DNA sequence: CGGGGCCCTATTGTATACAATTTGCCCTCG
DNA sequence: CGAGGGCAAATTGTATACAATAGGGCCCCG
């Protein structure tokens, strides 16, 4: 995070994901420059990045707005992830080294730890869970050795972090996710592309429902 | 193309696709600013767009380079297109209006015309064919009503235009493409998502081989 | 009282000057 | 003669001033 562009990207992204702005709200570059503490030039670059991740959009007259995601858009997002990460897993299965698979296992151990029953602070756990989860999926994507795939998936993995602090997830759901990852590792060890793709597919489809349910719960009762 | 950014994007893109620069060659922002006839600011925006389409890349120290695509990358690109455009076709099948299907048919009539046997100027035909082909695929993508899909596919459809003036394509291959489109229209008329996906899949896979063959022919004998 | 057009302001787009970083060269020293 | 370090030039990153453009409000006229 050395350059001002990156700072801007990071700060604005946090600002958005923290839910400081309502969907549909209009933002000015200058305002965002204040938020990020840099001039408009790097802000414009950051906004472009956020646009391509669809965290921001432009009105017909090039004003910056926060898009609101409907259930359909979220469904579509997970469907695309299912296809693309399934493909990534398939490729990764024949390209991962033993050491890399070990690394995946290590990351997933963190996931299990984060949802272990003897752990008290649910809040911190979810954050850690989500972080490890992201790293796991990134590692798989990287292992597919496809620059395009990396670039495309980067624009799909963003999630409103409203849900990152969430008590909305059931421990059971999180545990199931960790078990999915276990099976994925097993598929990798077996170097079985089709198994890997299938596991990744069902994993993400379940994740969609967990996410969608949490989201609608939040909308019903927005504490 | 009203803004300087767009001008820059367009001119630099043409510059690249016309094959004026060798893969691996390094470019400076200033040089590109000369090419486009604008200052560095809009050039930087254009370069970002071209990066995201992978027509340009950055070295570890943020210098601009022209990537070289191997056979594997092209294969991967068409594989991704097959997945994503297949999905787009599937969605489009249940969303296209009759009028839109008529429009697709009209575009495809142009394709047929461009490769009609009584037409003499092969050169002009290929350009027209490729243009109509692009419009056809864009229309299908649009009809899927998924902003993400539109954005993702935009970064996959670029092709080195070395092959846009090409005598490398056989008339037979082009005719087959047009027939594929005919069948796709039929699938749309039947409102059959699975049929549409399957046709789009085989269409793109064949297109890959046609493209790859033309490319390797060009490499063997680079007139 | 409602609609349409014009002006003023808010916002985005572009150029340019300057700062920070990287590169490649050259010089020195082992 | 090769390796390493530091310096100068080339290149990218950032800020700021100015230009172009879109939007909203106000006034005038019907």
Strands B64-65 and B57-58, sheet pairing: antiparallel
Interchain contact A157–B (C-beta under 8 A): no
Q: What is the pLDDT of residue A122?
A: 52
B125: nearest Cα among B160, B81, B173, B158: B173
Q: At what angle do helices B29-36 and B4-17 cross, to 10 degrees?
A: 100
DSSP state of A221: S
Give the span between the Cα atoms of B89 and B140, in whole angstroms: 6
Give the span between the Cα atoms of B172 and A119, in whole angstroms: 67
A76 is written with which tokens?
């579509």
Q: Which of A160-174, B6-20, B74-88, B137-151 has the lowest mean pLDDT?
A: A160-174
% chain B with pLDDT above 70? 89
> Which uninterrupted H or E stretch holds B64?
strand B64-65
Cβ-defined contact of A87 to B87 (cutoff 8 Å): no
Q: What is the pLDDT of residue A118?
A: 62
Q: What is the pLDDT of residue B75?
A: 92
Q: Find the farthest-apart pair of alpha carbons in chain A and give their distance in angstroms, rounded.
A: 54
Q: What is the pLDDT of residue B180?
A: 96
Size of interface A-B (CB pairs under 8 A): 53
Instruction: Check whether residue B86 has its CB closer than 7 Å to nucleic acid strand C.
Output: no
Position B202 pLDDT exceeds 80: yes
CB B64 within 8 A of CB B47: yes
Position B168 pLDDT exceeds 70: no
DSSP state of B167: S
pLDDT grade for B172, boundaries at 50, 70 and 90: confident
Position A41 pLDDT exceeds 70: yes
Cβ-defined contact of A148 to B87 (cutoff 8 Å): no
Give the span between the Cα atoms of B68 and B90, in whole angstroms: 33
DSSP state of B58: E
pLDDT, tens only, A83-100: 999 999 999 999 999 999
Q: What is the pLDDT of residue A42?
A: 97
By Cβ distance, the residue of A52, A73, A87 closest to B151 is: A52
Report the distance from CA of residue B65 to the C1' of nucleotide C30 in Å, as an integer: 38
Q: What is the pLDDT of residue A221?
A: 65
Task: Considering only residues A214 and A74, tell me which one the structure prediction assigns the higher pLDDT.
Answer: A74
Q: Which of A42-46, A59-63, B158-162 has the lowest mean pLDDT?
A: B158-162
Per-residue pLDDT averaged across B1-28, rounded?
Answer: 88
Nucleotide nearest to A61 (CA to C1'): D22
Give the span between the Cα atoms of B74 and B81, in whole angstroms: 11
Cβ-defined contact of A54 to B148 (cutoff 8 Å): yes
pTM higher than 0.85: yes
pLDDT grade for B115, boundaries at 50, 70 and 90: confident
Q: How many angstroms separate the Cα of B74 from the Cα of each of A78, A186, B43?
A: 26, 30, 27
pLDDT grade for B56, boundaries at 50, 70 and 90: very high
Per-residue pLDDT averaged across B141-158, rounded?
Answer: 89
A78: nearest Cα among A168, A143, A156, A161: A156
Q: What is the pLDDT of residue A157?
A: 80
Q: What is the pLDDT of residue B214?
A: 79
Q: Taken in order A119, A132, A126, A6, is the CA torsion positive or negative?
A: positive
Task: Considering only residues B126 and B221, tell me which one the structure prediction assigns the higher pLDDT.
Answer: B126
Q: What is the pLDDT of residue A23?
A: 87
CB B5 within 8 A of CB B46: yes
Give the span between the Cα atoms of A126 and A123, in whole angstroms: 6
By Cβ distance, the residue of B45, B76, B148 closest to A77 is: B148
Cβ-defined contact of B84 to A87 (cutoff 8 Å): no
pLDDT grade for B77, boundaries at 50, 70 and 90: very high
Instruction: Check whether residue B62 has its CB closer than 7 Å to nucleic acid strand C.
Output: yes
Helix (H, G, I), strand (E, B) or coil at A166: coil
pLDDT grade for B117, boundaries at 50, 70 and 90: low
Q: Give, in degrees to the nearest 5, the angle at Cα A50 between A48 and A54.
A: 110
B78: nearest Cα among B213, B178, B182, B209: B209
Chain A environment of B152 (Cβ under 8 Å): 80, 152, 155
Count CB atoms within 10 A of the CB of residue B56.
Answer: 22
pLDDT grade for B94, boundaries at 50, 70 and 90: very high
Position A164 pLDDT exceeds 60: no
Position A124 pLDDT exceeds 80: no
Per-residue pLDDT averaged across B20-42, rounded?
Answer: 94
CB B100 within 8 A of CB B160: no
Task: Considering only residues B126 and B119, tell me which one the structure prediction assigns the higher pLDDT.
Answer: B126
For every residue of A20-70, DSSP letters joined together read -S-TT-EE-HHHHHHHHTS-HHHHHHHHHHHHHTTSSEE-TTS-EE-----
CB A193 within 8 A of CB A90: yes
Q: At what angle do helices A4-17 and A29-36 cross, to 10 degrees?
A: 100
């Amino acid at each position: 995070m050395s350059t001002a562009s990156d700072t801007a990207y990071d700060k604005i992204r946090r600002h958005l994901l923290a839910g400081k702005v309502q969907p549909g709200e209009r933002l000015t570059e200058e305002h965002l420059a204040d938020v990020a503490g840099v001039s408009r030039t790097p802000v414009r670059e950051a906004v472009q990045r956020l646009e391509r991740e669809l965290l921001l959009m432009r009105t017909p007259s090039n004003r910056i707005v926060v898009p609101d995601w409907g259930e359909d858009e979220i469904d579509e997002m997970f469907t695309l992830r299912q296809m693309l990460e399934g493909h990534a897993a398939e490729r990764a299965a024949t390209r991962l080294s033993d050491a890399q698979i070990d690394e995946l296992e290590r990351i997933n151990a963190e996931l299990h730890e984060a949802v272990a029953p003897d752990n008290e602070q649910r809040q911190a756990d979810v954050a850690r869970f989500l972080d490890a989860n992201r790293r796991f999926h990134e590692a798989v994507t990287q292992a597919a050795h496809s620059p395009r795939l990396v670039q495309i998936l980067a624009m799909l993995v963003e999630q409103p972090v409203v849900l990152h602090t969430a008590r909305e997830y059931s421990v059971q759901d999180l545990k199931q996710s960790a078990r999915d990852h276990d099976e994925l590792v097993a598929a990798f060890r077996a170097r079985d592309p089709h198994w890997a793709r299938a596991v990744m597919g069902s994993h993400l489809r379940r994740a969609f429902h967990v996410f969608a349910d949490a989201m609608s719960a939040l909308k019903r009762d927005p504490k």
